[in-house]
Structure 1
């Protein structure tokens, strides 16, 4: 099979769409013939070497953490899914022709492959952040980075819970945030004051999905610094905020089922921009620029 991979750390120019060993479903897993897979910031961070100590990988590294496709292999101890089922979910090395998923949900009927492929990481991360923050009806939430892949999903999930949402983005993305149900504010210097003006004071919770506003500023928005949760600023704990990267915080099956339900009901929309797998380098360049609206998705014909 072919898979997106690299053998040297660096930029998108190091990517290759090349042959790789076929993966197989182990216990509790399914394998899918991939129809689409999304690009997430963690992908280009891995490519850059930011998450590794070695100067060069020992073997080709495969990329991708979510995908959508047709099940073609079912591992042991797996119930409720069969070969031929259409699913989306979380895994590793998913930017490929074949990929193994560790958690999945049924593809909602009529929802485009690219959209469900974009929902795995964004849906799980959003559900996790909102759950950790206790977002519910009556909560006022600030999402710092509301127009990106995770941010746009988090905004909508919070709105479905009955929360009041303020979200930051560039001015060009303010109409999008309004459409999603949030009050938009301009990101960057002075964002704390703009959020307080929009919310009428402090907010109940802050979900930092961009990592661009200093945590010391974000904690000024809440009464308890622990009510700031970041997925992008790993130094935020020094200011009293919480940092989550998944692990024990994650409930992937429940999160994916919730995401599927919201997509099926039309209460969640994920803007996507698609690229053929052979043009993955361009998608990575755009993702690395930080100016992403919605999700970038690699698709097979």
Structure 2
């Protein structure tokens, strides 16, 4: 298959390498549109060379994966509109929720899909990517009227980077991931710690409050998971990723824009629709915005 990857961060680089390794023709699109080739080394495997930024090739792609951050979705795909056919599936894989809601009306005729993953990757340099955790990728419809992805496409993605599964209720998975991100990402960014540090007693009260507030919103706006199930799941993720630094921690450390508006910001907007007040999330949101505003 001919597959384009928009955004070659850690997850985009991981997918690019795995898909090309599986025999597919992979086209990469970078923020800097000038390079015509790029190289990626996955772990200790041989370096692979990829075609880059050939816009005209997008028209003949079988599928396009958009792996930029939620804050970059509009900026990344707007220049590509005239090169993408309405029939080409576009799979968006990023943290947070609400990024596709900001797209222009012209995109509503396209085949848009949402994905969430527990695959973990890290880029120690521009040409290196480390696969730091194996996991599950779920893909589902952005809008109810859209067709499911073909079994052939799903099977090819699954063969390249297992496991990939179609999810008819992708919103439930996205809300669960949102709750994880709302609790872990801003907390680790503000307290300057690895994920695992959040299990320390000094953070218990805040984490409990953050989880309770997430649960309040999810009861009304999202899937109604039992509170103890949600809490257990979030602590399982913390323990499984104990040695990791969250993406928001890394963004703050490198003085980059964070995804806070599509993570905690999205949760707060939903809470407002139901006249819910989330004091713990609101305070943490303001603390992260202050850190961003303090960049020199």
- If the TM-score is normalised by the length of the shorter chain, which range does it land in? 0.3 to 0.5
Q: Which has the higher strand share?
A: 1
Q: Which has the higher helix share?
A: 2
Higher relative contact order (CA 8 A, sep 6+): 1
TM-score, normalised via structure 2 length: 0.32
TM-score, normalised via structure 1 length: 0.32
